[in-house]
Amino acid sequence: PTHPFFLYASTAPELSDNTRYDFFSRVVPPDSYQAQAMMDIVTAMGWNYVSTLASEGNYGESGVEAFVQISRETGGVCIAQSLKIPREPKPGEFDKIIIRLLETSNARAVIMFANEDDIRRILDAAKHNNQTGHFLWVGSDSWGSKISPVIGQERVAEGAVTILPKRASVDAFDRYFRSRSLSNNRRNVWFAEFWEENFGCKLGMHGKRPGSPKKCTGLEKVGRDSSYEQEGKVQFVMDAVYAMAHALHRMHRELCYGYPGLCPKMANIDGKELLSHIRAVNFNGSAGTPVVFNENGDAPGRYDIFQYQSTNRSTREYKVIGTWTNKLHLNVEAMQWRAGDPSLPASVCSVPCRMGERKKIVKGVPCCWHCERCEGYHFQASEFSCELCPYEQRPDANRTGCQNIPIIKLEWHSPWAVIPVFISMLGIIATTFVIVTFVRYNETPIVRASGREMSYVLLTGIFLCYAITFLMIAAPDVGVCSFRRIFLGLGMCFSYAALLTKTNRIHRIFEQGKKSVSAPRFISPASQLVITFSLISVQLLGVFVWFAVDPPHTFVDYGEQRTQDPAAARGVLKCDISDLSLICSLGYSILLMVTCTVYAIKTRGVPETFNEAKPIGFTMYTTCIIWLAFIPIFFGTAQSAERMYIQTTTLTISLSLSASVSLGMLYMPKVYVIIFHPEQNIPKRKRSFKAIVTAATMSGKLQKGGDRPNGEVKTELCESMETNSE
């Protein structure tokens, strides 16, 4: 067309195409606005998974297409199914549609662009399939606030949200139309037919209603003798007429200003020029709302939002719950669902994931997802991803973030600490008692025969072996770690350096005694001390080198108790002493212990009555067994969650047992004789070194070990050595 057209009821979105329908203007909003309004309703409800249902034809298919297009552009709403009702549905067609809608049962909301008859039959099919209350209907203006689609199926339609272009009843039209009669409305050629239909009567012999029993009198009155309700489109018809009038008035004022009637310039109206005046009109229409057009000739979208609700009188009616004018204004509190339930029903593909769970989107359906919990040491970094916590942290209770792993250490009240401390305290008390006894009876033969200086060195080592327990259990810091490095191997080094020196001395004495009457070199107490402390200095030198290469410090070991369950994970506060460093620190002492054991084996033939070679031998055998048991326990528990406790307890008890063996076998018999048998602790006459050694050797051969008190010959030998050294 080349002349403008006014439309008062056409809402098809295609008419907004200005390249094809440039001369079309309409006073009703297009269905694209209606589709946007329906999308806004769906979004406001929190629904993201819906189905669409359209009657076959331009109206239904265009409306659904507009809704689907908006859903793609905005995102957030997914279309589960788009179904179409045929123009001529077969029997059972509507039941099939209901069954198909139930295939995606989570998509409870159904967007409908359908005619009245199709709406009524869909509701009826839902009722017959026992789906009352399942579907959440969202109807277009073809449903609006009409009663006919819901008659007889009010319960299944309850809660339906519908939309209708905002309209108002024009009172002036009601007054005019009610005053019309056969006599004053002759110009309307269809009025007589309307009169017969409206009043159910027949006008004369030529009436259009054959067989009617009643004859029209002509005195009937519209609204009095018949029901009357103003047609909803009256407002738009009037606005269309007024819009054309305003456009012509503007055109006349511009082209024919001051000229009554049509001037020559308006004799042949240019369609495009008139169209420009139409698009420029702006006046208040019959309902009091502005009548304007956009560049496509569309009127602004103004809609009322209705919901079909039950009333207190057990009846149901449409209630306005909001409006849409380029933006939705919805009174959610005024909405009702089944049996007056105010809670908002859901139409979602997947429920929101809980805290600590990530969404795994179903391919091609962004509104559907699976929830996957962030496992292990992972936390929920975003809606769609889990990330690993830093090594020193673990997920919090909700797995929405990370928190520091608690740091622990061996506590004094722990059973793993109480037992070693108890053994250590008993050992310290016993060691102190032996030292005090030796100091008090320092000049007695048994004390002198034991080699006083070496005994004190050995007892110092035993004391340190017991005392290291407290350093191993104390809370690690730089000072504690430094003392651990120094004293961990020092106690054993003191003990086994002294024992090695003693066994070596005995071995050399008897080897020399077989060859010569002269005493071997370096057997005096001073020489023995020099040899012992030379051996000890090697240990100290190694420790000082260790200090220089790697200064002591603490660190937190998060790997030792990094359990599968992050809630049980703990960081262990430790000194920087690795298993390898520990073995190196104790390795020198173990070397001394092995060497001492070798000399104890070599001197096993020395008579019991002469010296303590055999007690030293038993001490070393037992000690070797203790440390052979220590190694598999210590290293076999390296992967255990209780590693810190087991290894610390094993190490401290092994040190205490080693010290206890030395203390019990070497010194307890002497203390027993000193205290309970003082008569055996008396000096004997001195003899020469050769005589002593010969007598001891012969004594061993003749098996007369029981003739003289234990240690008597050793006392003579020690006294002889002291005399020679002087």
Q: Domain locations in the chain?
A: 5-168+301-340, 171-229, 357-404, 418-606+618-684
| Bridge-based pairing state of the strands 290-291 and 303-310 | unpaired
The CA distance from 143 to 344, in Å, is 22
Question: Using one digit for the tens of pLDDT, what is the confidence trace for 407-428?
Answer: 988 888 888 899 999 999 999 9
The CA distance from 223 to 175, in Å, is 10
DSSP annotation string for 282-342: -EE-TTSSEE---TTSPPPP-EEEEEEEE-TTS-EEEEEEEEESSSEEE-GGG---GGG--
- For residue 710, the model assigns a pLDDT of 39
Q: Is 418-606+618-684 in CATH node 1.20.1070.10?
A: yes
Enumerate long-range contacts of 363-370, CB under 8 Å, 24 or more apart. 365/78, 366/75, 366/78, 367/48, 367/49, 367/76, 367/77, 367/78, 368/49, 368/78
Q: Residue 374, SS3?
A: coil
Q: What is the 3-state secondary structure (H, E, C) of 5-52?
A: EEECCCCCHHHHCCCCCCCEEECCCCHHHHHHHHHHHHHHCCCCEEEE
Q: What are the φ/ψ torsions at residue 269 (nearest 5 degrees)?
A: -75, 130
* Alpha carbon 487 to chain centroid, angstroms: 47
The CA distance from 66 to 140, in Å, is 12
What DSSP element (H or E) covers 155?
helix 154-157
- For residue 491, the model assigns a pLDDT of 84
Domain 5-168+301-340 superfamily per CATH? Response regulator (3.40.50.2300)
**Residues of the chain predicted below pLDDT 70:** 1, 205-213, 313, 339-342, 510-523, 604-614, 634-635, 637-641, 684-726
- For residue 200, the model assigns a pLDDT of 85
Tokens representing 78 are: 């997914």
- For residue 606, the model assigns a pLDDT of 61
Q: What are the φ/ψ torsions at residue 318 (nearest 5 degrees)?
A: -85, 135
Burial of 284 (0-12, 13-18, 19+ CB in 10 A): exposed
CA angle 160, 163, 166 (to 5 degrees): 145
The CA distance from 566 to 355, in Å, is 17
The CA distance from 215 to 235, in Å, is 34
